Amino acid sequence: MSCTKICDTNIIIGIFRNNEKVIRQVQKIGEENVGLTTVNVAELYYGTLSKKNLKRIKNSLKHHPIYHIDVQSSKIFVRLILSKHF
């Protein structure tokens, strides 16, 4: 059973920029286990400066699940964060 890891947008950008350290870490968890949120997608689209990069991003997004953020997932996030820090 695979376990999807949600990556911060800066990790996804690191992959696009061929950052070797980031790529090694993603390879450790398995690229097939990387998921994104709608927030990641919005940030990637917003940060895209060229049509070429936009096409590359859209093509890459086809290979990863994209999770929608809602109130319930936000509550779970807060609960997890609080359980780790307090």
The pTM of the full predicted model, rounded to 2 decimals, is 0.74
Nearest to 35, CA basis, from 58, 12, 59: 12
- Note the pLDDT of residue 1: 45
Cβ(16)–Cβ(48) below 8 Å: no
Q: Which domains does the chain have, with CATH numbers?
A: 5-85 (3.40.50.1010)
- From first to last of its 86 residues, the chain has per-residue pLDDT tens of 456 888 899 999 999 899 999 999 999 999 889 999 999 999 999 988 788 888 889 998 898 899 998 999 889 888 988 987 65
- Note the pLDDT of residue 37: 93
- The Cα–Cα gap between 26 and 33 comes to 9
Dig out the tokens for 82 from the structure: 């609080």
- Note the pLDDT of residue 51: 84
Measured CA to CA in angstroms, residue 43 lies from 16, 46, 50 at distances of: 14, 5, 14
